[in-house]
Amino acid sequence: MIKNFKPALAAAAVSLAMLSQTAMAAEEQFFPLIDYRVGPYGSNGQAFYGGFIDYLNYVNLKEKGVNGVQLTYEECETEYNNAKGVECYERLKAKAKVSSGPIHTMSTGISYALIDKSAQDKLPLAMMGYGRTDAVDGSVFPYAFPLVTTYQMQASAIIKFIKDKNAGNLAGKKIVYLYHDSAYGKEAIIAMEAEASLNKFTLVQVPVAHPGNEQGAQWLKIRQEKPDYVVFWGWGVMNQTALKAAQKVGYPRDQMIGSWWTGSEEDVVPAGEAAKGYMAATWNVSGKQVPVIADIEKVVYGANKGNLQDKAKIGTVLYNRGVSAAVLSIEAIRKAQEKYGKGKAMTGEQVRWALENLNITDARLKTLGATDLLPEIKTSCDNHEGSGKVKIQQWDGAKWVPISGWIEGNKALIHPLFQASAKQYAKEKGITPRDCSKEK
Amino acid sequence: MLYREAGQFKTTYAADQQIFPIRQDRIGIIALLVVAFIGVPLFASEYWFSAILIPFLIFALAAIGLNVLTGYAGQLSLGSAAFMAVGAYAAYNFQLRIEGIPILVSFVLAGLTAAGVGILFGLPSLRIKGFYLAVATLAAQFFIVWCLTKFPWLSNNSSSGVISTQKLIFFGHELTTPVEKYLLVLSVVVVLALAAKNMVRSSTGRAWMAVRDMDVAASVIGIKLMPTKLLAFAVSSFYCGVAGAMYAFCYLGSVEPDGFSLEMSFKILFMIIIGGVGSIMGSFLGAAFILLLPIFLDVALPFVADLFGLPFASATVSHIQITVFGALIMFFLIVEPHGLARLWQIAKEKLRLWPFPH
């Protein structure tokens, strides 16, 4: 029995080896997509990952991949659940160890859970606009990249925007920070406090318990406080509720400025008329006037390879955000190929190097057709953020209109906070930080 | 056939009262332990350890905890996840604030802290029962999560409330690989499961069951209700607390209060309902069912879809997975309302009477 079995086994092994060889011949760059399309935030995930996958297909169709390397991906559904996220990561890890693009989880909780694991497995973890923000300090977090900008820098940029509106002086003003009482909402407090003591305005913190569909007490307090501005850090159903509540107590919406997770179509459309005039920060503009978005619709959806079932989502804030995440990821792959060999699949380690040495100028963004889709980005070992800039956009009742240029947060104030926090993390975990001056 | 007991004579009371009176069971459990301790580490992949075996063992432990309270003492609780949170945060703080404390000691202290909190929230059980008690434990669920978010000291002033656990140092050796973590979790779970099994066979366990079956009658025959109920709460919370500490330290590595949501409490409750209320083995079967079946479906469905050439998007797979999972829960509850453990018991009875099962 076993004797008969052996040749068969050998044949199978040979054919398997041949199979893997043919697979090797056509280089493929793998993207582990730890994403979510169902669950409480499913509609956000559909738009974001729809944009991400559409851009991968766009590069495949338009340029036959990155220097001939086809982009492939595998999705794993997390439902925005940390434990499922870890399971997905472990499942996709075997494939990702061969070649891996940056991992985007679009969840702070999952990023936190993966931060140690990904460093151990040498896989780059991107956290665009969420996640462990002190990973800006790359000396302690070599494999984690809070790209583009962080909550703290965003808060600082919003304050700067308000300051500019008030002729550069905020002394004596009162600003309410209305936030989702969770890790997400609390991240920015430290920056708001620093800004308050620097600019001498009064900061009033008003937490809203999850999920935030009841805010009567909070808005009563806001009415009593009569703040000059409300800076608003909401999530999911909390956003529309806040806008409706503001309308009810007669608080002007054009004095409310939200974070980038409160500034998508999903947040304002359900609030109807109450949302008009409301402002929010964003690092990517919405709309199809961005050339690459229009081109994706033409090329990818023209070839019937689009990922979205609901085409109306093309050009929304979150869809464009997904595209911007993919643009950055592909640029990192390109950069890595420049150093480690064009036309080859890049490993996580090589992509990590590229993410740390990104330099995407406006000129480059223009060639990509992504002008204004995202700000210029230049990363380094001690700055994994790379930009720290946002735009403020305003909802005119039908669409988001950018009303400012790129605003950079107060780096001198905020970045030392990251370094202090990263240092504490390194101490707790017994990590010896890299010497950034020796990295190249 | 398999379970022929001919020739197995018990000559002492001790032999008659042991956990596994049938020799085949003893051999089976020893084989299982050998496989778990030696076989699995030799053959399983990293994915199996980090994504399947470790969470399975941790949730089985939490389910044992809830089973002590709900299955044996009859007190319905919806706060298991909150007690796990207490354990996780307590272990973190013990590690943080006491220099050089061994990890196992901080797990035990975490369990004791959770037990203390459990007793506190068990107090209403002296006056209220059934669904009303469930609502009272619901308060624990919300209060503890709120408390962990509210007081930054508990998360060492982390700006986000998320804690990132310290290194696992075990007798001077740092546990980094999934295999080592798995062995640690497995050892703790085996010891605590054995303790639980013995507890429920002792007079304590009989007192719990008496209270469960009818508390008035229990007090008439001389069981003091208050200590009995509170002990059940304490033991249950201890188990959940240790499970929570391991959930943070050995599984995720970083946790936030919101992670220990009501949904997780329900999940643990479903584990014991599916697995078998009032059964230690049921806790393991239930944890396996609730935790592993979705993963299995997740992996298997795309294969099946490929086989029939159906174009499945990843969202569709998730939806189908949820539907199939729900249908299977209903199927098992209809086939055997007393859970998988009872199913196994029936199978065993039939095997013992083989070839004439009735």
Question: Hey, of A31, A87, A140, A417, which one would you mutate to test binding to chain B, going by the most B CBs within 10 A of its CB?
Answer: A87
Taking domain B44-353, whether its CATH number is 1.10.3470 is answered by yes
**ipTM, 2 dp:** 0.84
pLDDT reported for residue B353: 81
Cis peptide, bond prior to residue A124, ω within 30 of zero: no
CB-count exposure of residue B307 (10 Å: 0-12, 13-18, 19+): exposed
Q: How far is B230 from chain A (nearest CA, A)?
A: 31
Measure the CA–CA gap between A157 and A408, rounded to whole angstroms: 6
Measure the CA–CA gap between A182 and B162, rounded to whole angstroms: 9
Return the structure tokens found at B58. 């941790």
Q: Is any Cβ of chain B less than 8 angstroms from the Cβ of A97?
A: no
Q: For residue A83, what is the nearest residue in chain B, using CA coordinates?
A: B252
Q: How far is B162 from chain A (nearest CA, A)?
A: 6
Subunit contact A190:B318, Cβ cutoff 8 A: no
Helix (H, G, I), strand (E, B) or coil at B33: helix
CB B31 within 8 A of CB B180: no
- Element housing A66 (H / E): none
* Residues of chain A neighbouring B161 (CB-CB closer than 8 A): 182-183, 186
Q: Is any Cβ of chain A less than 8 angstroms from the Cβ of B262?
A: no
Bridge-based pairing of strands B254-255 and B163-164 is antiparallel
Residue B110 binned pLDDT confidence (cut-offs 50, 70, 90): very high
Q: Is any Cβ of chain B less than 8 angstroms from the Cβ of A193?
A: no
Tallying the residues shown for chain A, one arrives at 440
Q: What is the mean pLDDT of chain B?
A: 90
Question: Which of B51, B164, B314 minimises the CB distance to A112?
Answer: B164
A-facing residues of B in 66-125 (CB < 8 A) are 96
Residue of B335, B331, B353, B351 lying closest to B343 (CA atoms):
B335
Q: How far is B316 from chain A (nearest CA, A)?
A: 9
- Element housing B124 (H / E): none
CB-count exposure of residue B91 (10 Å: 0-12, 13-18, 19+): buried
Question: Which of A35, A82, A93 minimises the CB distance to B259?
Answer: A82
Q: Is any Cβ of chain B less than 8 angstroms from the Cβ of A420?
A: no
CB B310 within 8 A of CB B295: no
Q: Is any Cβ of chain B less than 8 angstroms from the Cβ of A121?
A: no
pLDDT per residue, tens digit, chain A (440 aa), is 344 444 444 444 444 444 444 444 478 999 999 999 887 788 888 999 999 999 999 999 999 999 999 999 999 988 888 888 999 999 999 899 999 999 999 988 899 889 989 999 999 999 998 878 889 999 999 999 999 989 999 999 999 999 999 998 999 999 999 998 877 888 899 999 999 999 999 999 999 987 888 898 999 999 999 999 999 999 878 999 999 999 999 999 999 999 999 988 888 999 999 999 999 999 888 889 899 999 999 999 999 888 888 888 899 999 999 999 999 999 999 999 999 999 999 999 999 999 999 999 999 999 999 988 889 999 999 999 998 899 999 999 988 999 999 999 999 999 999 999 899 889 888 888 998 888 76
Alpha helices, DSSP H only, in chain B?
A: 13-17, 23-34, 40-43, 46-47, 54-66, 80-97, 103-122, 130-150, 178-201, 203-213, 215-220, 225-246, 262-275, 280-307, 314-335, 340-353
Q: Is any Cβ of chain B less than 8 angstroms from the Cβ of A423?
A: no
Question: Which of B55, B254, B322 minimises the CB distance to A83?
Answer: B55
Q: For residue B92, what is the nearest residue in chain A, using CA coordinates?
A: A428
Q: How far is B241 from chain A (nearest CA, A)?
A: 18
Subunit contact B258:A183, Cβ cutoff 8 A: yes
Q: Is any Cβ of chain A less than 8 angstroms from the Cβ of B167?
A: yes
CB B95 within 8 A of CB B166: yes
- One-letter amino acid for residue B116 of the chain: G
Measure the CA–CA gap between A343 and A295, rounded to whole angstroms: 24
- Element housing A354 (H / E): helix A348-356
Question: Which of A93, A190, A428 minimises the CB distance to B159?
Answer: A190
Q: Is any Cβ of chain B less than 8 angstroms from the Cβ of A95?
A: no
Subunit contact A35:B314, Cβ cutoff 8 A: yes
- What radius of gyration do chain A's Cα atoms show? 23
Residues 6 or more apart from B120 whose CB is under 8 A from it? none
Q: Nearest 5°: CA angle at A65, between A64 and A67? A: 95
- What radius of gyration do chain B's Cα atoms show? 21
Q: For residue A37, what is the nearest residue in chain B, using CA coordinates?
A: B315
Q: Is any Cβ of chain A less than 8 angstroms from the Cβ of B177?
A: no
pLDDT reported for residue A319: 94
CB B115 within 8 A of CB B235: yes
Measure the CA–CA gap between A251 and A45, rounded to whole angstroms: 31
Return the structure tokens found at B194. 């054995």
Q: How far is CA A325 from the centre of its chain?
A: 7
Domain assignments of chain B as residue spans, ordered by start: 44-353
Residue of B212, B191, B218, B47 lying closest to B125 (CA atoms):
B212
Q: How far is A145 from chain B (nearest CA, A)?
A: 18
pLDDT in tens, B176-225: 889 999 999 999 999 999 999 999 999 999 999 999 999 899 999 999 99
Please, what is the end-to-end C-alpha distance for chain B in angstroms?
Answer: 15
Measure the CA–CA gap between B143 and A154, rounded to whole angstroms: 31
Average pLDDT over residues B216-235: 95
Q: Is any Cβ of chain B less than 8 angstroms from the Cβ of A430?
A: yes
Q: What is the DSSP string of A190-247?
A: HHHHHHHHHHT-EEEEEEE-TT----HHHHHHHHHH--SEEEEE--THHHHHHHHHHH
The label of the residue with tokens 């509609």 reads A43
CB A370 within 8 A of CB A284: no
Any bridge partners for residue A125, and if so which?
Answer: A103, A144
Q: What is the DSSP letter of B173?
A: E
pLDDT over 70 percentage in chain B:
99
pLDDT reported for residue A2: 42
Q: Is any Cβ of chain B less than 8 angstroms from the Cβ of A42?
A: yes
B-facing residues of A in 99-118 (CB < 8 A) are 108-109, 112-113, 115-117
Residue of A423, A433, A422, A429 lying closest to A133 (CA atoms):
A422
Measure the CA–CA gap between A141 and B293, rounded to whole angstroms: 35
* Residues of chain A neighbouring B298 (CB-CB closer than 8 A): 76-77
pLDDT reported for residue B329: 85
pLDDT reported for residue A293: 94
Subunit contact B314:A90, Cβ cutoff 8 A: no
pLDDT in tens, B133-170: 999 899 999 999 989 988 889 988 877 778 888 888 88
pLDDT in tens, B265-310: 999 999 999 999 999 999 999 999 999 888 888 888 888 888 887 7
pLDDT reported for residue B161: 78
Query: What is the number of CB-based contacts under 8 A between chain A and chain B?
Result: 96
Residues 6 or more apart from B257 whose CB is under 8 A from it? B85, B89, B144, B145, B148, B149, B161
| Strand spans (E) along A343-411 | 359-360, 377-378, 389-395, 400-402, 407-408
Q: How far is A376 from chain B (nearest CA, A)?
A: 28
